[in-house]
Chains A and B, each alone.
Chain A
Amino acid sequence: MKQRFLNDTNLLLVFSAAILLMPIWLSPLGAAYPDLLQKFAIYGIFAIGFNILFGLTGYLSFGHAAFLGVGSYAAVWSFKLFTMNVVPAVFFGVIFAGLLAFLIGYISLRRSGIYFSILTLAFAQMSYNLAYSVLTPITNGETGLQLTINDPRWIDSMYITVEEGLPSTNLFGLKMSGYPGFYFCAILLIVCFFISLRIFRSPFGLMLRGIKSNQNRMNYTGLNTKPYMLSAFVISGMFAGLAGSLLAVTDPLAGAERMQWTASGEVVLMTILGGVGTLIGPMLGAGLIKYFENIFSSFNKNLLHEVFSFLPDGVEDVVVQVVSLFVGGGWHLTLGLLFMIVVIFLPGGIVEGFQKFGGVFGYGKNKNSDSSPQNQAAE
């Protein structure tokens, strides 16, 4: 027990160091700018939470974007009504997402397998359509919910002298843009990782794994599986709500498209790509997908011509033509290929890849092989 606890501590330390030092070690990859780093952290939280449901219980939700969206709306409303301080915004985001998750989970968990997935998808699409049309007074429909000069901001208006223009989100005065914004998200990410680690190692986590493996047997040993499933669902919904509120913290607006099914699908891809049911897999998957989305999509033909300028002219044109299919607007194509390769050759995701890699080369000094025994223990 003690031995394993130490390993977990190391894992947490390595994880924290890797996250906090991202601005340094990601700069050679061209990804060390705050906007993108924030996205890594936020979608990492989203995926880690999703993995608590999908990885442990095997229940595949296709509706988690609904919680992301609700988190954003709640946060923006907190900015509008109360204060630009991010603490209440995050709080409300988590709470409202948790409430919605309770509602959706309570109904969807009456079914399992594909029917569960379809129910969650239906609920999320319903939420999307509501946000888009019926609930316009709350969501501001198509335009999206934004801050305005005329917002009441009751708490702020009592203590802070009104400045010109739109105020910015802050943590007790510290502006939440740029690097401070990233570090705020990063610290919450580390907290979330810690919670997920504890859940994975707890009897609660073991029970969820038992439900995944043989729900019947769990019932016949005396476990009422429903409330456990529902708690897993609500917890993962709250993680999604936190991620949604952080999206609003770093950029205070919320639109219905955040709830669309593509966003629900994205977190499924992240988790599978990184490694379902592993501790660090979802974070890796989230990072990779956001990296592709932001870096690959920004490549254009001019840049490619520069890169391949060492080739003879005719060849260069051909190469650029081919490669340009996979970058810029075509980054989805690259992602699709990568996803296929991972699912076919590494069904355990990137983490499994690292484990195989670690097995071939022995345990090297890099962090991935360092953490792989942990992940084995987690499965």
Chain B
Amino acid sequence: MEKTKTPILLHKTKQLSEGRHMENLVLHLDNIQKSFGGLRALADVNLHVEEGKTHAIIGPNGAGKSTLLNVCVGRLKPDSGKVTFDGEELTGKKPHEIAQIGVARVFQTPEIFPELSLLDNVMLPALSKRDGSFRFNPHLAMRNQNEIRDEAEHILGDVGLKEQMGMVAGSLSRGDKRRLELSMCLILHPRLLLLDEPTAGMARHDTNATIDLLKKIKERGMTKIIIEHDMHVVFSLADKVSVLARGKIIASGLPEEVREDPLVKEAYLGTAQE
């Protein structure tokens, strides 16, 4: 039953994207497949993201959204297919190499340094970026920290965590950990930012603050993929929306178009709103 529907949708997808903007596609996911044992988490996913745009991916639980990001950052190797960013193939590269290319990610469960202070948490990525591909120069290693410290403080101010910067990161609330992780990604000045449910666990007020912050970054021309269940966030931020269900992209287009798509309502919004 699904097999008959999908081709039509894919066809429609193509029309929508090709009709409007063909220029400046930086991220390409081509024919990505990934199975865990017998479970097909990703079945032939194709996704193309335009430079500087925010592309939202929505879909029910277990649809394969996080798996898709895992493939992008090198946490998982796809069974087949390839990921290219700005002309460079990411598949097969190690996570640190992908990060050095300029891809940063906020994880679904915050990946922070729980034992270290917030300031150290934000300074560390900057140091990694600077010295990531091993340079052992003790003299250089001693200098130049003040600039990084200043920037880290500034970014913590942006996400609203500056007062707590001496605190140990492990003691933060779930929402604050997310904001911390976001600032750890921002100090890397990534060209591609992947956000896996960046506002989950946040109070409404903080969610709105995060939306504002992400809008601000958009002005700097950073490309973003955002996975969200919160439709308020999706419709405030996304330039385009793709719907992933059971490992397949079933629809893709402008937010309003996708919202009105009856199949999307059935496949995703219908189940999610129960």
Residues in A lying within 8 Å of B, measured CB to CB: 1, 198, 202-204, 206-207, 209-210, 212-214, 216-225, 227-228, 231
Contacts and interface: CB of A to CB of B under 8 A. Distances in A.
B111 A217 contact: yes
B235 interface: no
Contact of B188 (A1, A212, A221): A221
B136 A220 contact: no
Interface in B108-165: 111-116, 120, 123-125, 127-129, 131-134, 136, 138, 141-142, 145-146
Nearest to A218: B128
Contact of A220 (B105, B116, B145): B105
A213 B114 contact: yes
B188 A222 contact: yes
A176 to B, nearest CB: 30
A285 B100 CA distance: 41
Contacts of B129: 221-222
Given A206-B120, A206-B124, A219 B95 contact: yes
B132 A214 contact: no
B113 A214 contact: yes
A352 to B, nearest CB: 15
B125 A222 contact: yes
B246 interface: no
B136 to A, nearest CB: 6
A240 B72 CA distance: 42
Interface size, B (range): 20 to 34
23 contacts: A198-B138, A202-B138, A202-B141, A203-B127, A206-B123, A206-B127, A209-B120, A210-B116, A212-B115, A213-B116, A214-B111, A214-B114, A219-B96, A220-B99, A222-B125, A222-B128, A223-B127, A223-B128, A223-B131, A224-B94, A224-B133, A224-B134, A225-B96
Contacts of B113: 209-210, 213-214, 217
Interface in B205-255: none
A276 B112 CA distance: 22
Contact of B111 (A1, A204, A212, A216): A216
B99 to A, nearest CB: 4
Contacts of A221: 99, 104, 124-125, 128-129, 132, 184, 188
Nearest to B111: A217
Greatest chain B CB density within 10 A among A198, A213, A220, A231 is at: A220
A-B interface, 3 closest residue pairs, ranked by CB to CB distance from nearest = A222-B99, A223-B128, A221-B125
B73 A220 contact: yes
B122 to A, nearest CB: 10
Greatest chain B CB density within 10 A among A207, A214, A225 is at: A214
Contacts of B97: 224
Nearest to A204: B141
Contacts of A216: 95, 111
A379 to B, nearest CB: 8
